[in-house]
Amino acid sequence: MLTPISIIIADDHQIFRHALCRLINVYKDFKVLGDVGNGIELLKLIKFSTPDILITDLEMPLMNGRELAKELNKTYPSVKIVLLSMYYSPYHAINAFDNGFNACLPKECSIETLIEAIRAVHNDGYYFKKDLLQVRPNEELLEQKFSKISNQLALSHREVEVLRLICDGYTNKAIAITLGLSTSAIDFHKQSIYKKTGVNSAVMLVKYAVRNGLIVL
User: Going from the N-terminus, what domains does the chain have, and what CATH number goes with each?
Assistant: 5-132 (3.40.50.2300), 139-211 (1.10.10.10)
Evaluate if residue 137 carries a pLDDT over 60: no
Please give the pLDDT value at position 139.
67
pTM higher than 0.95: no
Amino acid at 80: K
User: Residue 64 — pLDDT band, cuts 50, 70, 90?
Assistant: confident
**CA-based end-to-end distance of the chain:** 38
Closest CA to 8 of 30, 67, 119: 30
Distance CA 56, CA 1 (A): 28
**Opening angle at CA 73, ends 71 and 76, nearest 5:** 90
How confident is residue 118, by pLDDT bands cut at 50, 70 and 90? very high
Tell me which long-range contacts 21-29 makes (C-beta under 8 A, separation of at least 24). 23/111, 24/111, 24/114, 24/115, 24/118, 27/115, 28/4, 29/2, 29/4, 29/5, 29/119
For 167-187, the pLDDT digits (tens) are 877 888 889 999 999 989 999
Q: Tell me the pLDDT tens digit for each residue of 76-91.
A: 999 999 999 887 766 6
